[in-house]
Amino acid sequence: MAEKARDYEAELLAIMNALAESVAEASDADILAEAREAGEDPGRTAARVRALLGRAVKDNQQRRLREAQKDYDERVRVLRARPYALPRTPEDRRRLFVLVMGRKPEIGAALLTAQHREFKDLTDADIQSCLEQLGALGVLDELQGPSSGER
C-alpha cells in the first residue's frame, strides 16, 4: 500500500500556531526571563520591532503615493509622446491660437493671466509655448478645417 505524502505546510502551520499560543499564554515576566536567558536585550529587541513595524506602516501608507506617482509619470509620458504639428510661421501660429481661444474660451481662462486675455501682448514665443501645451493635451487634434493653419 502506498504511503500517504506528508503535508509539510500543515505541519509547519501547526508548529507556528503552537508557538504563538505558548507565547500568548506566557506571562510578561516569563517572556522577559526567556529572552534574557537567550542573551537578548528586551529593550533593544523592542526598539528593533517598533522600528520594523514603523517602517512597515510607513511603507504601506506610501504604497498609494508610489502608485499615484507611477500613474502620473505614465500620463505625462503619454502626453509628451503625443504627436502634433504647429504652423510654421508666427502669423499662422497666432491665427491658430486665436481660433483655439475662440472655440474653447474656457482654456484661455485657465491658461492665461488676465493681462493677456486679449491676446494682443503675447509674444510669438508665448503663443508657441501655449500651442505646444495645447498640442500635448490633444486640444489641437480637435480643430479641423482650413483656418487651422499648416498642421
pTM for the whole structure: 0.40
Q: Give the C-alpha separation, 38 to 146, whole Å.
A: 85
pLDDT-derived band at 89 (thresholds 50, 70, 90) equals very high
Amino acid at 36: R
Instruction: Give the pLDDT confidence score for residue 150 in this predicted structure.
Output: 43
Determine the pLDDT at residue 10: 94
Measured CA to CA in angstroms, residue 95 lies from 85, 90, 100, 108, 125 at distances of: 14, 9, 9, 15, 14
**Residue the block writes with cell 480643430:** 143
| Residues 16-25: contacts with CB under 8 Å, at least 24 apart | none
Q: pLDDT-based confidence at 102, cuts 50/70/90?
A: confident
Here the cell at position 2 is 502506498
Closest C-alpha among 130, 63, 52, 83 to residue 44: 52
Question: Measured between alpha carbons, how far is 86 from 96 in angstroms, rounded to an integer?
Answer: 9
pLDDT over threshold 50, residue 144: no
For the segment 19-70, what is each residue's pLDDT rounded down to a tens digit? 999 989 999 999 899 999 999 999 999 999 999 999 999 999 999 999 999 9
Q: How far from 119 is each of 6, 37, 91, 147, 151, CA to CA, in Å? A: 80, 81, 13, 18, 21
Residues 111-130 pLDDT 10s? 665 445 566 677 888 888 88
